[in-house]
Amino acid sequence: MSFNSIARHYDKLSRLVFGESLMRAQLYFLNRIDPSSNVLVMGGGTGWWLKEFLLKRPECNVCYVEKSVEMLKLAKAVCGDDQRISYRLGTEDSIIERNEFDAVITFCFLDVFSEVELGGVIEKIKLSAKADADWLVTDFINTRIWHSILLFVMYRFFRVTTSLKIQQLPNWEDLLLRSNLIEIEQKLFYGGFIKSAIFKRK
């Protein structure tokens, strides 16, 4: 599975389908991240929001872990050689830090794993974060029939373009809760199809 082939078109496609909604959802809780935080971004994609974020949070440091080399190139093109960003081509297995991050950001990242895989991914990310870290999630939820239809189409699209194997949305909310995290706050977008939330360890 690789997002390389669609990296250049990814943001345009997202805007075509969701208008500004997905972007607004991702920006919604960013201002909750404390200044001078050490932030882990998993599967950040093109990182379209990162430059602006660092302008508002000049004392933050960001570890940007991305599996797709093309996505990572685009993120570097947006943010350049910013010393505050540590770009890492890799996955959850490339996180060597322990109890280090004050905040974790996963935007449309949890949805690329099967439920079986996702439990392990969450545990690996959790190990790298401090006990009181905020975990900012933006992802899709499936609570209406039209959500199921749109998800069906989206997963078929990603199967063809990225060879993504899974074909249904994992119940990421349930898995985060089962992993001893609690939801502090949430906001829904796009008719309740997109959810942004802050989770913390119990």
Ligand X SMILES: C[S@@+](CC[C@H](N)C(=O)[O-])C[C@H]1O[C@@H](n2cnc3c(N)ncnc32)[C@H](O)[C@@H]1O
Residues that bind ligand X (CB under 6 A): 3, 42-45, 65-68, 71, 91-92, 107-109, 112
Contact 140, 191 (CB under 8 A): no
Contact 6, 28 (CB under 8 A): no
Given the complex with ligand X, which of 65 and 136 has the nearer CB atom? 65
Q: At what angle do helices 21-28 and 10-18 cross, to 10 degrees?
A: 100
**173 three-state secondary structure:** helix
CA distance 72 to 65: 8
Q: Which of 93, 95, 199 is nearest to 137 (CA)?
A: 199
Minimum CB distance to ligand X, residue 202 (Å): 25
Minimum CB distance to ligand X, residue 107 (Å): 4
Residue that has been written with the tokens 């570097």 in this structure = 76
Given the complex with ligand X, which of 139 and 182 has the nearer CB atom? 139
Given the complex with ligand X, which of 9 and 36 has the nearer CB atom? 9
Given the complex with ligand X, which of 3 and 29 has the nearer CB atom? 3
Minimum CB distance to ligand X, residue 131 (Å): 23
Given the complex with ligand X, which of 44 and 170 has the nearer CB atom? 44
Contact 97, 126 (CB under 8 A): no
Minimum CB distance to ligand X, residue 143 (Å): 20
Minimum CB distance to ligand X, residue 24 (Å): 12
Residue-wise burial string across 102-134, b where 16 or more C-beta atoms lie within 10 A, e elsewhere: bbbbbbbbbbbbeeeebeebbeebbebbbeebb
CA distance 188 to 105: 17
Minimum CB distance to ligand X, residue 95 (Å): 9
Given the complex with ligand X, which of 74 and 181 has the nearer CB atom? 74
